Structure 1
Amino acid sequence: MIIDGVSEGYSVLLDRDTDVMTSPVHLWSFYGCSSPTEPDLSAGSPSSDSDQSFSNSTSVESFRYQGVRVKNTVKELIMQKRHHEIQAQQYHIEVECPEITRVLQATKRCAENISQIPVKRAATDDTNILSPCSESLFSESEMLDDIGDILSKDRVSIDSVTVRGFNSVPMCTSPEEHIPLQSLYTDVEKHMYSGVHQLQSIQNTFSCSVLVPTLSATTVPPVSFFEWQIQQEEEKLAGLSHTELIARDGDGDTFLHIAVAQGRRALAYVLAKKMATIGMLDLKEHNRQSAFQVSIAANQHLIAQDLLSLGAEVNTLDCWGRSPLHVCAEKGHNNMLQVIQKYMQTSGRHVNMEMVNYDGLTALHVAVLSHNAVVQELSCHMTPSSAHTVALVQRRKHLSDCINTLLLMGASLETKDRKSGRTALHIAAEEANVELLRVFLDQSNYFSVINAKSFNGNTALHMASALQGRQTQADAVHLLLRRGADPSTKNLENEQPAQLVRDGPLGEQVRRILKGRGHSRS
């Protein structure tokens, strides 16, 4: 950068080696004041008009600063400084294997010789191409063969090679990764080749990617984040004794119960593995819940999967008589049921699907009762767009998925509860739950339960006909009749379904359906 109107004679103010102003004595020109050692302004003045007029000034007081002229431009100064730095480091490559250093330096010397080779210009276009003699200098295959022979002979990994003086270049950690050869010489290329076309030709020569070999003996197998967490927890719990492992708090919870409730999977896995080795994996707290049952209640399906893999017991009851299946059916945890289903398929262990709670209900009965409660609440809710309604619809879907999963796992439709003798079909008919009635009547063995009687002799058709205030009552009765329900069946009170129908417009419609006079809706 040059500012006109400044005499080159004032270059004495600049340091001759660095071309920058270094002496504060010469700063007088920037402030227009006299200097203790004023230079002779007439000496060494150039022949330009502007500079000549400036050199004829006779007084310092009339001097006006007009700028500074430097010998070199800022760009040239920066490039010169970088050139000195590059020269000090670009050829200092230290590697642990001297043979690899020799091969890489031989290839780099070939790149240096390119600047001395004349470049030919094609007659048809302006693209510069290298001569055949220059192409022979870049034998990449020979260089790679040499490196491969050295690696195989010395039994070293390319990961151990460190290169200094260049930009950080990550080495390959797997054979699938590729490193362009030109990236190793990025800084060298920036300052070695002055011609733009020569640099472009060299980059085209090294455009292919090089596959860097890696020895499998020095490659560390990758671990997942969960495995890494397990390693960290094992180091922390290395000194945990058996007495501390089974110690309980005021609620009877062990460290494992607390870790499961908090969802700390890695910690729970390490604790469960230690407890399994001493046979205490199913240790229960004050509600008689094991760690696996706590994971079911907390909906921690990954922790439940880990506990099952370590041997946790599935056929167990808590203080309310609920098995893990009952809890899943009550809360709508279908993902937990899928974990148990997968465990049944892979391990071959038996899961008692017909286990009953203290009310005499199986998990399928509990799921149908929970679904009925949600359907009844939805029928009474008057704001369909509210957040509560959306939550109820979502819960109904989860419970429906649980019922389908229980059927796939082997839950029986013919099982009756211990108190009233109702099947799952009876319970669905009590609420005119058309959705579940369709699910049960689509099963292959539905005909064995369509006319099954409870302890008081009522069939599912009796229960659907005796309802009052259910908008879906007519649909439920019509569906049962279409699938083979007998309207002439009598209960222990010698009553047929038509005799249980309540009065009213809806009751009259149900009577017409029972008498076979048709139904306007399917």
Structure 2
Amino acid sequence: MIPTEPCHYGPPNEFTPSEAVNPFNTTAAYPSYGYTAPSSEPVPLYSNHQTNLVALRHSSDPTLFETPQTEFHQWPLSGASAVPPCPEADLLPIPYYNPNPSQQPIIPPQPPIPSPNIIPPQPIIPPQPIIPPQPIIPPQPIIPPQPIIPAKLEEARATIQNMEMNELLQHDDDGDTILHIYSAKGMREFVLAAAERIRSLNGLETREHKGKTPLLVAVTANQAGVVSDLIELGADIKAADFKGQTALHLAATYGYPDILQAILWSGVTVNVEARNFEGLTALHCAVKSHNCTMRKLSEIQTRMGEVSAELQAYSQDKLQCISLLLSLGASIFTQDVKNSMTVLHLCVQDGNLRLVQFFTQLSNHQLTNFLNMKAHGNTALHMAAGLQEERNQEEIVRFLLSHGADPTIRNLENEQPIHLLPAGRQREQIKQMLKRGRFTSPSAPRLSSS
């Protein structure tokens, strides 16, 4: 049955305002404790302050309560008594915690003194990256530059002394100063005399329209004596042109071993792993330049049936540049930025059997790792297997396999080198070579690094 009496939402009949005023009242619930019952009127906890407790009183509406305005008071300062200054006996004391009752200055805790027997923790040193050991390169003979004739040097100094400083620093239409012109022509005495006058004004680092300093102009012109003189006078060997090419890049690209000899002779510290704006080191540039020369040599031999002696000598100069760069500390494990290719990938891609033989026959304890390094998932053997109409393909594949190239490695497309063989007369023979995997080393003589 549903009750018909009205239901009022309010305090119970036994509710007294004192129970709401004093939250610590335990007399109503536990009368045996002997506490004095609170008075019928709300009494503040502190006689000198307004209470900050809410007093609930009966309202004329049984469903509502009246809430008086709540006011907040400031608690006593430090050093006040823990017992409220209220004489009423019907109130319970509220303890007040004073963090500093003695009003003494707070002294921060001192760190513990370590015991001499306790070993302090050592800082964690991150592991260094594993750098593969470089192949053993036979030492290259260092050829010193030719000396300058003192009489010609004094004559040049007298000429330069009669010139105005503005004339020495003036740029022509191509941005060349007189030092750029002297450097390009190989006039060592005048280069030395002019550089002595303008080096205090940073004249050695002035640039022409392609961003080349006099040192880079001398490198491009293959003036090894001028390069040696400028380095001795303080020219910046790390300077790069507008394409990011340093003296090492330019010498390697043009195939100037005399320039690298002059740099070696100077003893200056160079960053042989510096990259140009294409992400190539000087060793990468030397390999690409040698590939280009060998390609031209092969084309002339195929078309005309004869060997160009000039190109052969040029290829030897570039091979010597590669050896000199390795003597300077260039790493064969360095990969380019664009395609992640090592020097082995670059020479295999162009079918350069001569360089494949050169790099694989270096005294290298990490030769197997070098042969099986990947460029976007492809090893050098993958590239050799995919060569199109290359007459050196079979020899390159045979040479790589005989020195430890792994024919079972798969690229990012899950392909092994055998899957990349093009159609042609050599396909079946190379396919059988890849299936067998290992061969005895060919009977070609071991190459030196020169």
Tell me the residue number matched to 2:432.
512
Cα distance in 2 for residues equivalent to 1:418 and 1:500? 25
* Counterpart-to-counterpart distance in 2, 1:490 and 1:248: 57
The one of 360, 375, 380 aligned to 1:460: 380
Residue 297 of structure 2 aligns with an amino acid whose one-letter code is: L
Q: Deviation string for 1:330-370 (max 9, x for gaps)?
A: 111011011112223xxxx4211111112111111111111
- Please identify which structure carries the higher helix content: 1
Cα distance, 1:374 vs structure 2: 1.7
Structure 2 CA distance for aligned equivalents of residues 431 and 510 of structure 1:
18
Code of the aligned partner of 1:416 = Q
Question: Residue in 2 aligned with 1:379?
Answer: 298
Distance 1:328 1:384, change over 3 A: farther
Residue 240 of structure 2 is aligned to residue 317 of structure 1: yes
Mapped to 2, the partners of 1:269 and 1:313 lie a distance apart of 15
2:414 equivalent among 494, 509, 513: 494
- Which residues of 2 match residues 333-348 of structure 1 at below 5 A? 333-344=256-267
User: For 1:270, which of 190, 193, 196 is the aligned residue?
Assistant: 193
Taking a change above 3 Å as real, the CA distance of residues 520 and 506 of structure 1, as seen in their structure-2 partners, is farther
SS of structure 2 residue aligned to 1:377: helix
**Alpha carbons of structure 1 residues 359 and 384: separation in structure 2 relative to 1, 3 Å:** same
Alignment of 1:116-127 (within 5 A): none
Deviation for aligned residue 1:465? 0.8
2 CA distance for matches of 1:366 and 1:383? 29
State the AA in 1 paired with 2:291: N
2:271 counterpart (347, 352, 365): 352
Distance in 2 separating the partners of 1:334 and 1:288: 23
Partner of 1:448: 369
The answer to whether residue 249 in structure 2 is matched with residue 326 in structure 1 is: yes
Q: One-letter code of the match for 1:308?
A: I
Deviates more, 1:391-400 or 1:233-242: 233-242
Letter paired with 1:229: K
User: What RMSD over aligned residues (CA atoms) do the two structures have, in Å?
Assistant: 1.9
- Structure 2 Cα separation of the partners of residues 471 and 313 of structure 1: 45
Change (3 A) 1:398 1:384: farther
Paired position in structure 1 for 2:118: none
Which residue of structure 2 lines up, in the alignment, with residue 300 of structure 1?
223
Distance 2:417 2:392 in 1: 17
Whether the 8 Å CA contact 2:148–2:189 is kept in 1: the answer is: no
Matches within 5 A, 1:144-223: none
1:373 and 1:519 mapped to 2: Cα distance?
30
In structure 2, the partner of 1:399 is 318
In 1, Cα distance between the equivalents of 2:424 and 2:174?
55
Equivalent positions of 1:130-149 (< 5 A) are none
Which of 240-249 and 251-260 deviates more? Answer: 240-249
Tell me by how many angstroms 1:384 deviates. Answer: 4.7
Over 3 Å counting, the alpha-carbon distance change for 1:291 and 1:384 in structure 2 is farther
Residues 354, 362 of structure 1: 8 Å contact kept: yes
CA separation in 1, counterparts of 2:384 and 2:264? 33
Deviations 1:105-132 (A, max 9, x none): xxxxxxxxxxxxxxxxxxxxxxxxxxxx
**Which residue in 1 is equivalent to 2:151?**
228
2-side partners of 1:372 and 1:342: how far apart?
28
In the alignment, residue 267 of structure 1 is paired with which amino acid? F
Task: State the TM-score, normalizing by the size of structure 2.
Answer: 0.62
Q: Which has the higher contact order (CA 8 A, sep 6+)?
A: 2
How far apart, in 1, do the equivalents of 2:216 and 2:328 lie? 19
Superimposed CA distance per residue, residues 158-192 of structure 1 (whole angstroms, 9 cap, x where no aligned partner) = xxxxxxxxxxxxxxxxxxxxxxxxxxxxxxxxxxx
Query: Cα–Cα, structure 1 residues 443 and 328, in superposed 2: closer, same or farther, change >3 Å?
Result: farther
Give the C-alpha shift of residue 519 in structure 1: 8.3
Q: How many residues align?
A: 292
Which one of the candidate residues 238, 244, 247 is aligned to 2:170?
247
Q: Helix, strand or coil: the match of 1:376? A: helix
Q: CA deviation at 1:468?
A: 1.6
Is the 1:431–1:464 Cα contact (8 Å) retained in structure 2?
no
Identity of aligned residues (%): 36
Counterpart-to-counterpart distance in 1, 2:406 and 2:218: 45
CA 357–520 in structure 1, closer or farther in 2 if over 3 Å, else same: closer
Change in Cα spacing, 1:254 to 1:378, as seen in structure 2 (3 Å) is same
State whether residues 386 and 420 of structure 2, in contact with CA within 8 Å, keep that contact through their aligned partners in structure 1: yes
Identify which of 420, 430, 433 aligns with 2:352: 433
Partner AA of 2:412 in structure 1: L
Q: Sort the Cα spacing of 1:376 and 1:508 in 2 relative to 1 into closer, same or farther, 3 A.
A: farther
- The 2-side partners of 1:449 and 1:402 are apart by 21
**Hey, what does 1:71 align to over in structure 2?**
none
Unpaired segments of 5 or more residues in structure 2? 1-146, 444-450
Q: In the TM superposition, what are the counterparts of 1:403-418 in structure 2 within 5 Å?
A: 403-418=322-337
Deviation at 1:383, TM superposition (A): 2.6
